[in-house]
Amino acid sequence: MTDSEQKTPVVRHRVAVAIVVTITLVAGVLALVWQPWAGLPEGAAFAIGDRAVSEDELDERVETLRALYGVEPPEDPAKLDAFRRDSAKSVAVSMLLDQLASEQRIAISEKQARDVLDRFIANRYADGGRQAFVKALGEAGTSEPQVLAEIRRQLAVGRLMDKTSGDVSISDAELRAEFDKRKNELGTPERRKLRNIVVKTKAEARALFDALRSGASFATLAAKHSIDGSTRKSGGKLGALSEGELQGPVATAAFAPSEGELYGPAKGSYGWNVGRVDAILPGQPAKFAEVADQFRETLRTERAFQRWRSWLGKQIRDADILYADKYRPADPDAPPSSDIAGAVGTSQAGTGPR
């Protein structure tokens, strides 16, 4: 298995995928009909236009995300309150995006969505396949049609973004100037070859850490205990990753020890992680000729995203979304800047757990 094949959902999204997931994370619940002059109906989380979304419907939507992306509401009361408000805002914005995509005559076929779902199942449920996927849906209280609907929304909003952002060109002079500003961050950062085991509880992770410290075989423990189907058979190998490619708590843990040392337990989106640093690869400074083409595409993506956010912000303000007090976000008129949990571990065709 190559290094690139090891990069499962602990690896952060690339920019293009992150943009789509960021804006379209939640959407499309059934809506109640209401009259704006009458105020929000009892039990409604928010309303947009002449449609109101109930708290139960919002909860149902979050359950779909839990099955598809591993999004889990935090336990801390303050964080849970922010999660609830961000969830409502993301749902409202996504409903608006559904409407805008429809107005632009953007449609995604069942086959296109099904192809993405098939790739998702093949990667995320490498061992159990569709049967394991269906079981996970049942445990989360959602269904395959709801997951397919989510994928269709994401694909549609991606096309909407392309249409509204337009063509972006970057001149050679702009490219060189931006490179000079960012050359320190454009170099190859330190990377580490890691082995990793994911389990469901902190107690399991601690027991595995103790066993590894006592000399137990990493490959044996990974094969027996890890819930990450994509790395279990390879002895937990993740390949060479930079700190920025790992989720926050796992990144912090994995980049603290020296070569040959263990790390963890560290909480990720899909469970508790313990691992070992097999090798440390020093970073290298960027060379303009080597990164120019890729950097130009990065700048294009950034400029397109800026246009998209500006356009989307106007659409949100014009929509005049009304929130119930306990669901009102801190800045209701601004486009969402991150996914609702900050912990989405997969893209539309993502892979196994972390």
Do 8 and 153 belong to one domain? yes
Same domain assignment for residues 118 and 153: yes
**DSSP 3-state assignment of 268?**
strand
Does residue 196 lie within any of the structural domains?
Answer: yes
Q: Does a structural domain hold residue 338?
A: no
Starting at the edge strand found earlier in the chain, the sheet holding 51-54 runs 32-33, 51-54, 44-48, 322-323
Rounded Cα distance between 351 and 12, Å, is: 12
Q: Are residues 31 and 123 in the same domain?
A: yes
Mean pLDDT per block of 10 residues along the chain (354 residues) reads: 40 34 35 50 88 89 72 84 89 90 91 92 85 84 85 90 88 95 88 96 96 96 92 92 91 95 93 96 91 94 92 91 92 71 30 34
Q: Could you tell me which of 81, 113, 90, 80 has the C-alpha nearest to residue 21? A: 90
**CATH number, domain containing residue 41:** 1.10.4030.10
CA distance 169 to 324: 43
Enclosing domain of residue 222: 188-281
Specify whether 55 is located in the same domain as 149. yes
Residues 83, 163 within the same domain:
yes
Task: Tally the domains of the chain.
Answer: 2
- Residue 90: per-residue pLDDT: 87
* CB contact at 8 A, 28 and 317: no
Which of 252, 281, 310 represents a domain boundary (last residue)?
281
DSSP state, residue 188: B
Q: Would you give the end-to-end CA distance of the chain in angstroms?
A: 18
Same domain as 153, residue 22: yes
Tell me if 43 is assigned to some domain.
Answer: yes
Q: What is the CA radius of gyration of the chain?
A: 22
Residue 342 lies in a domain: no
Q: Is residue 81 part of a domain?
A: yes
Amino acid 165: pLDDT: 85
Say whether both 276 and 295 belong to one domain: no
Whether the CB-CB separation of 55 and 44 falls below 8 Å is answered with yes
Same domain as 114, residue 33: yes
- What tokens does 100 get? 């805008």
Evaluate whether 350 touches 228 at the Cβ level (below 8 Å). Answer: no
Count of CB atoms situated within 10 Å of the CB of 349: 17
Asked whether residue 321 falls in the same domain as residue 243, the answer is no
d(CA 123, CA 109): 22
Q: Which residue has the tokens 């500006």?
A: 310
The pLDDT assigned to 50 comes to 81
Residues 97 and 221 in one domain: no
Total Cβ atoms within 10 A of residue 32: 16
CATH of the domain at 254: 3.10.50.40
- My answer on whether 258 and 297 are in the same domain is no
CA distance 155 to 250: 30
Q: Tell whether 232 is covered by a domain.
A: yes
User: Does residue 227 lie in a domain region?
Assistant: yes
Q: Note whether residue 344 is domain-resident.
A: no
Structure tokens at 336: 């969402």
Both 24 and 48 in one domain: the answer is yes
> Among residues 226, 256, 281, which one ends one of the domains?
281
